[in-house]
Amino acid sequence: MQAAEDTLVKAASGSSAGREVFYNLAEIKSAKRETDEASKCDEKASAVRSVMGQASYKLGLLAKERGDRQRAATLMAQVIAVDPVSPEAASGQSCARPN
């Protein structure tokens, strides 16, 4: 896993890093329980070129876990808008409506 992380960190430092690089780096950080770093990578993944549903979904779950229901709702609404038939969109439906 360290070799993959090293490769992704190097790729992420380039000016042409795609959202997949940041998303996969976030997956590694999450697996290592480095949630703050994973969140930063997911933020970058969702900001690159266009919204990436999976990264926004993970950020929405983290926002919900932290008690930020408004941010969770905003992020889940993005997920639903990007790919309304995805598993993430189906799962995020309840978060998309803040109570």
Among 48, 76, 50, 51, residue whose Cα is nearest residue 62: 76
82-98 mean pLDDT: 76
CA gap 16, 97 in Å, rounded: 35
CA gap 79, 85 in Å, rounded: 10
Question: What is the pTM for the complete model shown?
Answer: 0.56
CA gap 89, 99 in Å, rounded: 18
- Contact between 82 and 53 under an 8 Å Cβ cutoff? The reply is yes
Domain spans of the chain? 1-49, 51-99
Q: Which one is predicted more confidently, 8 or 45?
A: 8
pLDDT in tens, 50-69: 556 788 888 888 899 899 99
Collapse the DSSP code of 97 into the 3-class scheme (helix H, G, I; strand E, B; otherwise coil) and give the result. Answer: coil
Which amino acid is present at 90? A
